[in-house]
Structure 1
């Protein structure tokens, strides 16, 4: 993983074969002091795709009862990674295709780069956000 910062607050993250996606984005946020920002674009290929998604409308308090976890191996073409960074913590979603199916959901740790990855982070100055538990234990953005 290597990251590059522009004069106007954009951080480009290059991910190489074997790099871990979320972990590398978290490291880039630390390296470039990204407190509040957005992952505005991301592409690449993953050999491991770990995501979760909500498959219920009743939203029980226990999050483990409302999420479906997928741990998928193979060649995954990633068409988008995006989300918000609050208090230095990325909350990201991903869409990927393996030739037969398209899946999407919340990006989890353990996603490994197959060929390459390219992520663009935009720092947002003058705004400090964090996530706080809200209704039904859903994490919500709030000013810090």
Structure 2
């Protein structure tokens, strides 16, 4: 992984074969002091895909009861990674295709880059956000 920062604060992250996507994005946020920002674009290929998604409308208080975790092997073409960074922590979603199906959800740790990855982070100055549990234990953005 290597990252580059522009004069306007945008950070470009290059992910190489074997890098872990979310973990590398978190490292780039630390290295470039991204407290509040957005991942505005991300593409690449994964050799495995770890995501979760909500499959219920009744939202039980326990998150484990409302999330479906998927750990998918094989080559995945990533068509988009995006989300918000609050208090230095990315909350990202991903869409990917394996040649037969398209899946999407919350990006989890352990997604290994197969060929390459490219991510653009935009810092947002003058705003400090964090996530706090809200109704039904749903993580909500709040201003610090």
Q: Give the TM-score taking structure 1 as reference length.
A: 1.00
Q: Deviations over 1:85-126 (max 9, x none)?
A: 000000000000000000000000000000000000000000
Hey, what does 1:86 align to over in structure 2? 86
Hey, what does 2:50 align to over in structure 1? 50
Distance in 2 separating the partners of 1:28 and 1:68: 28
Hey, what does 1:107 align to over in structure 2? 107
Hey, what does 2:25 align to over in structure 1? 25
Hey, what does 2:139 align to over in structure 1? 139
Q: Deviations over 1:42-69 (max 9, x none)?
A: 0000001000000000000000000000
Aligned residues: 144
The yes-or-no answer on 1:71 pairing with 2:75 is no
Distance in 2 separating the partners of 1:74 and 1:16: 17
Q: Give the TM-score taking structure 2 as reference length.
A: 1.00
Q: Where does the alignment leave 5 or more consecutive residues of structure 1 unmatched?
A: none
Hey, what does 1:119 align to over in structure 2? 119
Hey, what does 2:61 align to over in structure 1? 61
Q: Where does the alignment leave 5 or more consecutive residues of structure 2 unmatched?
A: none
